Chain A
């Protein structure tokens, strides 16, 4: 009945036409009428040259924002991006070794007793403020690094410096309390700050360094902008005019930003391994591995927890875990299984020792039956990480085969941190560590899980402490003498098993094919002085 009523004044077609116009008026008018396209804007500026070309803006997606008050602690993607673009260090390791190369220090000499290091500094370097860089700035930076309130990663090594002489503006002499094999790890990691503006850096107002890019602006939670340093000490570098880091917290959104051309690069290890692998097979994109900047996945054990005090249980865990399955299924064969933390590029890598514990369920079952009835053991991990979640589930299934019942305990990252620092884990935990790619002794004096003095496993033994101290105090961290001591340390780690290493994970970085000559440090900091857009 109703349908037969008159609709005079406006017919259906006219109504829908009007509606369509209204909808277009909201969103479409601009894009239809205007000449400019947001997508076109994002993609402009890229040519096809294979030779280095100057200019252009490199856009990069990072998962988090800078945390200025944690400038020296931060291992976040934003922190390392800022550090790599704006700041430089005195020396730097190449990715494949721990032999230091010059950066702000031209050359150096370590005294025969290993207690005095004299560094000759470049005299042609200026901070972004225009002020010349001097030895006093290097002294200030190393002193700042040692300050406990900044909680820097290699603080113990910085604290081993007991004397500074910066009276000559281009020479820094440091005196060590004892011989310190990883002193160049510190020089590789400690950023050189402008002493006059450091207080503004920790409040996030400005970041002044000597690096190839100048910090321009930051919109918290949104973007960080950098511009080419026109006075950079390497002539004609960098090639790029600008770097724009966009903060994209969601992994899927980072992937689509890259695929849609909104960004040309995604920071290392910030896509799932599966997505990186898929991108590697997609035209227009490239995925590369950063060998030498590894992360290690491991299972930690609280050696005082019920069921884990007996070394036979911990050995059963080491035999039961299917490391190859975790490396294949979770990390998509981007790394390799290990028993010891050090990667292949490390002087401490030992292929024979790394096959001490390969999967042997029968042996694991035998050890469990020797121990007798075991309680249910808790396995804590960060629930927000799909990688850790998948690895924890595989570990749970592996241990069940060996007769060990594990209860999964996913927690939030902040809670995980609290339990790690406070040594509060109820049983096992699963996470990753880094710094094994540096001088091997760094791990046992700086990285928290291994720290002989205090660690989350509540493990301590005079023999392990002595081995850690002895390895640290060899002046040359890559010498044969040092390698012998690393072997002792490796034996200790395999015998005590307070940490059960699973695998070395090599970070993947995905980028548009137009981005050329990307480079990274061992600490995954971007080195974009030679990067260009083809």
Chain B
């Protein structure tokens, strides 16, 4: 297992290095300039030169890259050009908010998909399957910004029972009941497409399992369908579901950018949007590199868990 893990790490490091080069280059190739964004329309050439110098943008591009990557490796992320403050503080605050939102959305998605998948397989009634299929199709077909606006309109404007957006004013831990209310709409909005994808996959996997010989034998022996699904089929379907969950987590983080905008959730998505819009290079570079790192880590963790659950993979990895 350790050899399997060690074998996967070099490729992850190479991916991260190439990503850092690409991110840095792309930010420099994008038209627009942070000095001009800061200077405003009435700036004199002297003012722009002074701002550019203070931001270190008058150095050569390779020198800027080496300086940046050196700082990142020593965990010195620097200061934001535009928002002010240490980037590490901005990123930690944004990351914390996104993690809470994505985590709760993931929990909702997993719970919903488990409930629906198990239900349609244990009780394969036509009407139940149709209802779940319709829910799945709607959840996938409706983009986040439509679901988000609908949820806000219904539960915050027409029937004002939940907040329309923002994070709890006193922090997440001050009043957990208030925190839950703030989380309901954005996490549900974010979770629905993921739950639909997971449900579709898991219910198919369970149905396939239920057609296996050992299941038919067990059924003949009088084992209940509920026990077969929850104790045998689910156990066998879960490893492959984990891979799907890994991919869906990526989609979920991508969707978070839009959901954060709709629900004024000050997470990483909002920070990236502000950073790109104002050409706040240091912030955007760090965030993009962080996003790539998270994706690489999720993939790595997914592979490792997969290998742990299925010995054939780690044996193949060793050979």
A residues near B (Cβ < 8 Å) are 2-3, 5-10, 12, 15-16, 19, 22-23, 26-31, 33-34, 36-39, 41-42, 61, 64-70, 73-75, 148-153, 155, 203-204, 219-223, 244, 246-250, 252-253, 256-257, 259-262, 412-415, 417-418, 420-422, 446-448, 451
Chain B residues 79-119 with CB under 8 Å of chain A are 79-85, 89-90, 93-94, 97, 104, 107-108, 111-112, 115, 118-119
If A38-B181, A260-B160 touch, does A73 touch B40 (CB 8 Å cutoff)?
yes
Residue A447 contacts which of B38, B42, B271, B278 (CB distance < 8 angstroms)?
B42
Contact (Cβ within 8 A) A219 B266: yes
Contact (Cβ within 8 A) B165 A248: yes
Distance between Cα atoms of A47 and B153 in the complex (Å): 26
Contact (Cβ within 8 A) B40 A153: yes
Chain B residues 156-186 with CB under 8 Å of chain A are 156-157, 160-169, 175-184
A152 to chain B, nearest CB (A): 8
Contact (Cβ within 8 A) B94 A221: yes
* Residue B149 interfacial (CB < 8 Å): yes
Inter-chain contacts of A38 with B (CB < 8 A): 162-163, 168, 178, 181-182
Which residue of the partner chain B has the closest CB to A422?
B36
Contact (Cβ within 8 A) A39 B41: no
Distance between Cα atoms of A153 and B44 in the complex (Å): 11
* Residue B15 interfacial (CB < 8 Å): no
If A8-B226, A68-B84, A221-B90 touch, does A414 touch B278 (CB 8 Å cutoff)?
yes
* Residue B10 interfacial (CB < 8 Å): no
Distance between Cα atoms of A165 and B106 in the complex (Å): 65
A448 to chain B, nearest CB (A): 4
Convert B245-288 into 0s and 1s, putting 1 for each residue whose CB lies closer than 8 angstroms to a CB of A.
00000000000000001111010001101100111000000000
A238 to chain B, nearest CB (A): 21
Contact (Cβ within 8 A) A220 B51: no
Contact (Cβ within 8 A) B38 A6: no
Inter-chain contacts of A262 with B (CB < 8 A): 156, 163-166
Which among B84, B89, B188, B261 has the highest number of chain A CB atoms within 10 Å?
B84
Distance between Cα atoms of A219 and B264 in the complex (Å): 13
Q: List 9 A-B contacts (CB under 8 A).
A: A7-B224, A15-B226, A38-B178, A39-B161, A153-B40, A219-B93, A260-B163, A418-B32, A421-B43
Contact (Cβ within 8 A) A253 B180: no
Tell me the number of A-to-B contacts counted with CB atoms below 8 Å. 248
Distance between Cα atoms of A222 and B93 in the complex (Å): 10
Binds A, one of B122-130, B233-241, B297-305: B122-130
If A204-B85, A256-B156, A260-B156 touch, does A6 touch B224 (CB 8 Å cutoff)?
yes
A141 to chain B, nearest CB (A): 18
The secondary-structure label for the interface of chain B is helix
B54 to chain A, nearest CB (A): 8
If A3-B124, A260-B152 touch, does A9 touch B42 (CB 8 Å cutoff)?
no
Contact (Cβ within 8 A) A36 B177: yes
Distance between Cα atoms of A2 and B220 in the complex (Å): 12
- Count of chain B residues with a beta carbon within 8 Å of a chain A beta carbon: 88
Inter-chain contacts of A418 with B (CB < 8 A): 31-33, 36
Inter-chain contacts of B183 with A (CB < 8 A): 27
A38 to chain B, nearest CB (A): 4
| Besides the known contacts A7-B122, A250-B264, 9 further A-B residue pairs in the complex with CB atoms under 8 A apart | A12-B119, A16-B119, A19-B115, A38-B181, A249-B261, A262-B163, A414-B37, A417-B32, A421-B39
Which residue of the partner chain B has the closest CB to A68?
B84
Distance between Cα atoms of A5 and B125 in the complex (Å): 12
A30 to chain B, nearest CB (A): 3
Distance between Cα atoms of A463 and B54 in the complex (Å): 39
Inter-chain contacts of A415 with B (CB < 8 A): 31-32
Distance between Cα atoms of A204 and B214 in the complex (Å): 67
The 3 lowest CB-CB distance pairs between A and B, nearest first, are: A204-B84, A414-B32, A34-B177
Which residue of the partner chain A has the closest CB to B229?
A7
Distance between Cα atoms of A16 and B219 in the complex (Å): 23
Distance between Cα atoms of A259 and B160 in the complex (Å): 10
A435 to chain B, nearest CB (A): 10
Distance between Cα atoms of A30 and B172 in the complex (Å): 13
Which residue of the partner chain A has the closest CB to B43?
A151
Chain B residues 20-44 with CB under 8 Å of chain A are 31-33, 36-44
Inter-chain contacts of B97 with A (CB < 8 A): 222
If A30-B180, A253-B261 touch, does A260 touch B157 (CB 8 Å cutoff)?
yes
Contact (Cβ within 8 A) B270 A249: yes
Distance between Cα atoms of A18 and B205 in the complex (Å): 23
Inter-chain contacts of B48 with A (CB < 8 A): 421
Distance between Cα atoms of A417 and B157 in the complex (Å): 37
Which residue of the partner chain B has the closest CB to A6?
B224
Inter-chain contacts of A7 with B (CB < 8 A): 122-123, 224-226
* Residue B134 interfacial (CB < 8 Å): no
Contact (Cβ within 8 A) B224 A5: yes
Distance between Cα atoms of A13 and B40 in the complex (Å): 64
If A5-B225, A204-B84 touch, does A417 touch B44 (CB 8 Å cutoff)?
no
Residue A69 contacts which of B38, B108, B161, B165 (CB distance < 8 angstroms)?
B38
Which residue of the partner chain A has the closest CB to B122?
A7
Contact (Cβ within 8 A) A249 B177: no
Inter-chain contacts of A149 with B (CB < 8 A): 47, 50-51, 54
Contact (Cβ within 8 A) B39 A73: yes
